[in-house]
A = this chain, B = another copy of it.
Amino acid sequence: MRAWEIISDGGVDALALNERPDLEPGPGQVLMKIHASSINYRDLTTIEDPVSRKLPFPTVPNSDAAGEIVALGAGVEGMAVGDRVASCFFEDWPAGPISAAIMNTALGGARQGVLAEHVVLNAGGVIPIPPHLSWRQAATLPCAALTAWHALNQPHPVRPGETVLLLGTGGVSVFAQQFCNIMGARTIVTSSSDAKLARMRTLGAAETINYRNNPDWERDARQLTRGIGVDRVVEVGGPGTLQKSISATRVGGHVALIGILSGVAGTVSPTDIMRKSITVRGIYVGSRQMFSEMNAAIAHHRLDPVIDESFAFEDARTAYHRMREAAHFGKLVIDVS
C-alpha cells in the first residue's frame, strides 16, 4: 500500500509517495481503508518544519481521514467490517480533560498520520461518521470541525441568544458558523475579503467586519453588541489578534484559544483579562466523546461541511501549496481511493 511520507525537512515538494508493507491490526486495533483525507494548517507547518517537532523520518502526515473498516484485530467489539468511520485526531482521548499523555497520541505528529491507503488504529481511535456525508465531507471532521465544536461547547455550551465572534473564514470558523446556527447563537465574523464575508453571511453570519477597512474591528464588535462585548470568541488568529479579541469580549466572557497554529509570535497584555474577569482557554481539538456528540448533531441537522477543492492522491503536494496560498474558503480534501 502507498503512503505519503515526510522524509526530510525539505517542505512540501520533498514529500514522497512510497510503497509500504501491508498492515494487519493487532489486538484491539482496526485496519481502515482510507477514502479521503483533509488537510489542516497544522499539517502544512508540520511538513515545513518536522525538525523542530523532533519527528522521525519517515513520518506520514495528516490527522484527518474517512474510510471503512476492512479488518478487525482480536477483541474488538461493537464494530464490523464495512463500518464507515473517521479517524480521531488523538488516537487515545476517549473523554474527560486533556493530559500530556493524550497529547502524545496525535496523528500526523506524535504518531504516524493517515495520508495513506490504509492505516491501523486503535479501535477507540476511529468513530462512525454521519450517514449522509460523503467520504470527502467526512474527512473534514476530525480536526477543524471538532476544534470548533470544542470551542463552542466547553467549559459549557454557548447558550441560545449569545453572540460569538469568529475570526476569519478558515475551516474552524466555517464549522463554527454552522454550529452556531444550530445552537441558536448569533455570530460576528471578521475577514479581509468582502467576498468571503458574503459567503459567511449566506451560511448564516449575522454581522461581518472587513478588518482591512476597519483596523479597529474590536470596537466594531463591541458596538454590534451595544457596547457590552461578545460572549465568546473562537480565536484562531493567534497572538496577532488575541489582544483585540480580548478587547471585544464582555465582562465574564470566554475566549477559546485554538492551539493548532504554530509559529506564533507576539505577546498580549493580561490587563483586560483581569479587568473584565475574562476566561482565556487553550483548546486542542477534542475528545472522542465530543466527536460523538458533534456527529450526532451533524447527522440530526444534516449539516454539510464546506469543501473548497479536492485533489487526487497523487496531487497531494498541490493541496498543501493551496493551503499555503490561503485563498480557500472551507476545507481542502485529498481523495485517497
B-binding residues in A (CB < 8 A): 95-100, 103, 155, 157, 159-162, 182, 184-186, 228, 238-239, 242, 250-252, 257-259, 261, 264, 266-271, 273-284, 292-297, 299-301
Contacts and interface: CB of A to CB of B under 8 A. Distances in A.
Contacts of A292: 161
Nearest to A157: B157
Contacts of A295: 161
A155 B98 CA distance: 17
A239 B271 contact: yes
B184 A100 contact: no
A122 B162 CA distance: 25
B100 A296 contact: no
A270 B242 contact: yes
A11 to B, nearest CB: 22
26 contacts: A95-B95, A95-B96, A96-B96, A97-B252, A98-B277, A99-B251, A100-B228, A103-B251, A155-B279, A159-B296, A160-B293, A160-B296, A161-B292, A161-B293, A161-B295, A161-B296, A161-B297, A161-B300, A238-B270, A242-B270, A257-B270, A259-B277, A268-B270, A274-B282, A278-B281, A279-B281
A157 B157 CA distance: 8
State how many copies of this chain the complex holds: 4
Given A267-B268, A274-B282, 11 more contacts: A98-B252, A98-B277, A99-B251, A99-B252, A103-B251, A238-B274, A257-B274, A259-B277, A273-B282, A279-B282, A280-B280
A280 B278 CA distance: 8
Nearest to A283: B277
A96 B182 CA distance: 25
Contacts of A239: 269-271
Given A100-B250, A160-B300, A268-B268, A284 B293 contact: no
Given A251-B103, A270-B264, A270-B268, A284 B277 contact: yes
A70 B282 CA distance: 42
